[in-house]
Structure 1
């Protein structure tokens, strides 16, 4: 069956976070949409939970096996997706599906668009009432005007046309900051990117989030390599540094142990954040900006 949107998950040993996002999505899933889950052979009950969902027909595709790297798991999910449009769903972040569907409808109506990106929101588990807003519009404008050859944007906020994978490919397993390298590659290859000024997702940082566990030495090495290859003018964006710093601060100060969800009411916090992103999107006058606008 050809689906309009494939929502893809890649997870390992973060069952309570995964449950929130999966169960939220299952409740509102449309018949023309599918859910694909790749599990990295979790040991916290995730395998049994996902197997039950799959057998009940609540998720469409599911595998559990070791991954060589995080990028490997996401690549498997990208290849498994049967939808015209692919939306990456990170298990511990918040997503506005009304906004996501609006972007998918735009892409379906405009078949030459390879990818839609959006503004982003960020919060942290230990201070979830503070929400940061960030925009990449200025970098997108410079890129659209051919003033720069590549720019950075987070893949949590993106929708990808599946057939456009033939243009920019899959994630590079060598990169720790895989979404950073991926965005530089996508923009460097002059993919048809459209910018949505609303918000598809809200990143939630905590002790076990990926940004809190970056290896500074590897980042420095990989940054230099990407600068040379993609003619990138800003080695690691200020916002990227801020996000990594937030993650490291949480790791250093919060000390939530390996399972912060045991000490914090995940559902209560995430329900609050879900209402926040939905209200932000309802209260704004957002639009799509194509590179042809410049």
Structure 2
């Protein structure tokens, strides 16, 4: 038996087409479960009509905690050995379930199988092929090449990985593929199995930049400890922020554990720092600081005669011990390794460049960001700064 699960909420405009694409399949042993979140449009009347005339379909309608929760409820209700997950605005292509079952029968070691797919618009017009390619755990680091409605998964595998992560509201499918491929092989069949619909109210359109990309980055860090060039460039193109913006985004989502902080900094209110720049770093027990990230610059209007590519030297000390000397420019992003295992230490940066400001202060450069990095954060930054493709990202 194949159990198809559809999470639903106020998609009456599309759900009839979704239902028809399931019930018209040429595979005989199907149960269809719609988990509705309490729709207020005509979804329920459509579901009631079909459930009265076709015993293969059943539904529940009650308030839930979102799409991921609805999918897990459907998995718990399912009697089938194979699970299809079809959103209420997507559709199966003819023969999809039969092709998937035959593939899984022929390849008993596959935990799931997926096929090709098309992107369609709100009027069911084909827009383009969906990007799909063979994938494994390593390849999924670089991006998601699996189309969710074109995927069929063995139920015992879903139970083994404990279903869908209900803390995710956008990339729960990508997270699921990664967790499955960590433990099981998966398979690809080169046949079109489904249509993924794009329209003005779908999450890909409305939440991609604000929810989708941050969730994807957090998921990558959780599973791989780093972020690929593909996802970094996607983040940059949508958010327009550099490395420090990425860090703040990840921190805001609690991606990392027990983050270190800076206290007692002698930076001025306008972010200029003196030639002897000092600050204190505090971290939690068992979470040592791995490096210090400093984003700085010398505004050209402050020193008009300064060459555009001017270089100067700064020396770093941690708790009075030398921690390296660095050549930096008039605009820089400096990643300083830190050897101290102490939960609290003092940092001193001595700069060879300084000038006198109009208010008689001795100043060296503008320190826009001073961020002590945990081991996890430092690994992410090393991945970024080691990529020549991402020079613009800084």
TM-score between the two structures when normalised by the length of structure 1: 0.69
1:5-84 to 2 correspondences below 5 Å = 5-28=2-25, 30-84=27-81
Moved over 6 A (4+): 147-150, 238-241
1:61-210 to 2 correspondences below 5 Å = 61-125=58-122, 128-137=125-134, 140=135, 143=136, 152=144, 153-177=146-170, 178-187=172-181, 189-210=182-203
Shift of 1:12: 1.2
Shift of 1:221: 3.7
Shift of 1:237: 5.0
- After TM superposition, the structure 1 stretch with the greater mean CA deviation from structure 2, 190-199 or 224-233, is 224-233
1:242-253 to 2 correspondences below 5 Å = none
How many pairs are equivalent? 234
Kindly provide the CA deviation profile for residues 175-219 of structure 1, in whole angstroms up to 9, marking residues without a partner as x: 1222122222222x2322011122211212001222112153433
For the pair shown, the structure with the greater C-alpha radius of gyration is 2
Aligned Cα root-mean-square deviation (Å): 3.0
Q: Distance in 1 between matches of 2:221 and 2:121?
A: 33
Whether the 8 Å CA contact 2:36–2:70 is kept in 1: the answer is: yes
Q: Distance in 1 between matches of 2:17 and 2:68?
A: 23
Distance 1:127 1:170, change over 3 A: closer
Q: Distance in 1 between matches of 2:132 and 2:82?
A: 23
Distance 1:98 1:31, change over 3 A: closer
Structure number with the higher helix fraction is 1
TM-score between the two structures when normalised by the length of structure 2: 0.53
Distance 1:215 1:147, change over 3 A: closer
- After TM superposition, the structure 1 stretch with the greater mean CA deviation from structure 2, 192-201 or 218-227, is 218-227
Kindly provide the CA deviation profile for residues 204-244 of structure 1, in whole angstroms up to 9, marking residues without a partner as x: 20012221121534334423322222116537659988xx9
Larger RCO of the pair (alpha carbons < 8 Å, separation 6+):
1
